[in-house]
Amino acid sequence: MLTRRIIPCLDVRDGQVVKGVRFRDHVVMGGIEELALRYRDAGADELVFYDITASPEGRSADVAWVERLARHLDIPFCVAGGIRSVEQARRTLAAGADKISINSPALERPELIDELSTEFGVQCIVVGVDSSGPEGDWRVHQYTGDPSRSRELARPTLDWVAEAQRRGAGEIVLNCMGSDGVRRGYDIAQLKAVRAICRVPLIASGGAGAPEHFRDVFVEADVDGALAASVFHAGTISVPDLKQYLRAEGIAIRP
Amino acid sequence: MSVREVVVVDSGVANLGSVMAALARLDAPARLSTDPAVLRAAQRVILPGVGAAAPAMARLRERGLDAVIPTLTCPVLGICLGMQLLFEHTDEAGVDCLGVVPGRLRRFEEARCGRVPHMGWNRLEVLRDDPLVRGFGAQAYAYFVHSYHAEVGPHTLATCDYGGPFAAVVQHRNFFGAQFHPERSAAVGATLIRNFLGP
């Protein structure tokens, strides 16, 4: 049986892992490889590296650290941040990333999803969606990495998720902004609504604060993976303890 | 020569670097090549692959490797799409493959399997005691990313289940294939590659 994935997300800035609350006030946490291998050893199923400086500054992720990671890491990893062309995607994938995740550039030019999936296959094209709003009326947000440019679009989240799949997204990461960083649990209602129209793997992001939140999002929203950052980085939840708990709750989890 | 050099077919696909890195982690000397003479002289050949079958086969044909690979006599390991290309045919765009392992690839049906592609960690079940799949342990999980699969048959060494069993590791003569990504499957992946390299 396919297991549900536990995915720590690491924010990268200038070649180091940083953390911030609500996208502000970043503090350096350590080296990329060191933290990546620590999560690998702890049993993380996959890692996401988000170059938080890349997209707002209009440049794509520096590939030197991607190469170093690919050499050391023996679990899959995804690189997000500022990829806006087939050539930039090719560099990141050639450096050893298993997947690339695109967000704001796909909103600027949705054809980018078609181009990337045609060139590299749908399996390595992840579309990240930042979303918030009152229940049932969720809207997509763009440039959320930069507080001065971050904005809500008129585009309904469900429409965008459907379009992204039509264009060749192989996986959707839904970041529910209202719950992000506040640790009160994933936005189950929104994730359920997206799940209902999402035929490709769906990853929940934003809001994890306790092991029960992971159980709830797997059981109630039927997501394929759950992404979290601060609870893992702060040590509030350890990956091995979380996986043991979820297995005891009857959820398919890789030991 | 105590350490065998592995020749990785330079098929231009995205996971080449990851496969080379996995070999480096195991201290296995490796080089990339598309030269038929180098492939014929190799002691181990790996055919990596991700992405679509049609362009991958087209690249092999451009280099004449569609004629060379089936005649190799050393152990050959196909990874993911590389394994699929070892079969006769894939329903993906109706592409004829290398034809060294009998059988054809079919698409996972969404009605039966749920989400396609099959992406993530899934459990392996070893069917046959073959050196390639030894030492996996009772709880062997591997990382898969694929939309097409081979059915379980006489050449299956290990299966996996996604809406029904499919072939996860295959062997026919000197040709081996892993549908999962050993380079991204932590300890299980390293064990498979080490087994393939031999003592």
Residue ranges of B 89-128 with Cβ closer than 8 A to chain A: 110, 115-123
**Average pLDDT of the residues of chain B:** 93
Is A99 strand, coil or helix? Answer: strand
- The most confident of the ranges A21-35, A51-65, A97-111 is A97-111
Q: Nearest CA of chain B to the CA of A75: how many Å?
A: 4
The reply to whether residue B17 touches residue A120, judged by beta carbons under 8 angstroms, is: no
Q: What is the pLDDT of residues B82-104, one digit of tens each?
A: 999 999 999 998 999 999 999 99
E strand map for A75-201: 77-80, 99-102, 125-132, 139-142, 151-156, 171-176
> Both tokens of residue B12?
């231009």
**B58 interfaces chain A, CB cutoff of 8 Å:** no
Is A37 strand, coil or helix? Answer: helix
Q: Which residues of A56-77 are buried (b: 16+ CB within 10 A; e: fewer)?
A: beeebbbbebbbbbbbbbbbbb
**Is the confidence at residue A22, as pLDDT, over 70?**
no
Distance CA B188, CA B133 (A): 9
Q: What is the pLDDT of residues A30-45, one digit of tens each?
A: 889 999 999 999 999 9
pLDDT at A234: 86
Q: By CB neighbour count within 10 A (0-12 exposed, 13-18 middle, 19+ buried), where does B42 fall? A: buried
Residues A86-97: what's their mean pLDDT? Answer: 88
Domain membership flag for residue A220: yes
Q: What is the pLDDT of residues A198-213, one digit of tens each?
A: 999 999 999 999 999 9
pLDDT at B1: 38
Domain membership flag for residue A49: yes
- Tally of domains in chain A: 1
The reply to whether residue B184 touches residue A75, judged by beta carbons under 8 angstroms, is: yes
What are the residues of chain A with a beta carbon less than 8 Å away from any beta carbon of chain B? 1-5, 40, 45, 67, 70-72, 74-76, 93-96, 98, 120-124, 170-171, 199-201, 224-225, 254-255
Q: Where are the domains of chain B?
A: 6-197
The reply to whether residue A45 touches residue B190, judged by beta carbons under 8 angstroms, is: no
Task: Tell me if A103 sits within 8 A of A128, measured CB to CB.
Answer: yes
Distance CA A122, CA A114 (A): 9
Q: What is the pLDDT of residues B133-178, one digit of tens each?
A: 999 988 899 999 999 999 999 999 999 999 999 999 999 999 999 9
> Both tokens of residue B137?
């342990």
For residue B36, whether the previous peptide bond is cis, meaning omega lies within 30 degrees of 0, is no
**pTM of structure:** 0.92
pLDDT at A27: 74
Note down the domain range covering A46.
5-248
Picking from B73, B199, B187, the residue whose alpha carbon sits closest to that of residue B131 is: B199
Q: Find where tokens 């929203």 sit.
A: A221
Rg (CA), chain A: 17
Is A159 strand, coil or helix? Answer: helix
Phi-psi region of A228 (alpha: psi -120 to 50; beta: other; left: phi over 0): beta
Q: Which of B13, B115, B191, B192 would best serve as a mutation to test chain A binding (most A beta carbons within 10 A)?
A: B115
**Cα dist from A18 to A82, A181, A229, whole Å:** 17, 14, 11
pLDDT at B133: 96
Domain membership flag for residue A253: no
- Reported residue count of chain B is 199
Picking from A180, A174, A216, A215, the residue whose alpha carbon sits closest to that of residue A197 is: A174
The reply to whether residue A121 touches residue B190, judged by beta carbons under 8 angstroms, is: no
**Cα dist from A173 to A101, A210, B196, whole Å:** 9, 20, 36
Nearest CA in chain A to B110: A199
pLDDT at A14: 77
Partners of A224 on chain B (C-beta within 8 Å) are 115, 119-120
Domain membership flag for residue A158: yes
The reply to whether residue A201 touches residue B161, judged by beta carbons under 8 angstroms, is: no
Q: What is the ipTM of this complex?
A: 0.90
Residue ranges of B 159-178 with Cβ closer than 8 A to chain A: 161-162
Task: List, by residue number, the catalytic residues of B.
Answer: 80, 181, 183
pLDDT at A176: 94
Distance CA B5, CA A45 (A): 31
Angle of helix A64-72 relative to helix A32-42, nearest 10 degrees? 30
Distance CA B55, CA A66 (A): 26
Rg (CA), chain B: 15
Angle of helix A157-167 relative to helix A111-120, nearest 10 degrees? 40
DSSP symbol at B182: G
Domain membership flag for residue A254: no
Partners of B116 on chain A (C-beta within 8 Å) are 199-200
Question: At A166, which CATH number?
Answer: 3.20.20.70
Q: What kind of architecture, by CATH, is found in domain B6-197?
A: 3-Layer(aba) Sandwich (3.40)
